[in-house]
Amino acid sequence: MEYSGDGTDGATARMATPTTMSSPNILNCPPPSPASSPPPPVVLSPCAACKILRRRCVEKCVLAPYFPPSEPLKFSTAHRVFGASNIIKFLQELPESQRADAVSSMVYEANARLRDPVYGCAGAICQLQKQVSELQAELAKAKAEMLNMQCQQSNLLSMIIMEMDQQLIAPPTPPQPTPYDNLSFYTEDVNMGSIYEALWTCN
């Protein structure tokens, strides 16, 4: 059997082996975890109201749920008629369940006021009431005409039924002779020869 190297190297290797195996905890220790990085900050787009008013949109902004960033015209219309302070005041005085309807009403009234500065929403209501009255009058007229047609139809049917009953009850009457039926210029009993003889005798 051959040995490579001298005895000193083998003894050194045998002495180094227990030293390497005597520290298993160092090898089995998990690597230190890197420091946990903080979550990235969430950048929220300001609502349309705060964007138009050029102010910072806070987390509990009263206007944010009803004026999203995608609808700037909605707030600008209401702001021109009512003002931002009045809109905020109206919404703070109402419960959250009624705020959406209140915003829709304010926007509708603001649009009507911009279209008709004199009458505003009242003008639109009067116009709608006029249309309702006209439609009700047309409906009443149509109902009256329909009732009249039904009465005429029922009268016509009753007359037809009465005539049919009379034809079934009364016997058929024979046709009456006319005054010209008994007139005849030539009969079988007339003798033409006797007529000629009478005429010659008179001469």
Check residue 203 and give its pLDDT: 52
Using the predicted structure, report yes or no on whether residue 170 has a pLDDT greater than 90.
Answer: no
Using the predicted structure, report yes or no on whether residue 16 has a pLDDT greater than 80.
Answer: no
pLDDT, tens digit, 9 for 90 and up, residues 85-99: 999 999 999 999 999
Helices (H), 22-173: 24-28, 48-53, 72-81, 84-93, 96-115, 121-169
Task: Tell me the pLDDT of the chain averaged across its residues.
Answer: 75
The DSSP letter of residue 63 is: S
Length of the chain: 203
Every domain of the chain and the residues it spans: 48-115
Tell me which H or E stretch contains 19: helix 7-21
Predicted model pTM: 0.48
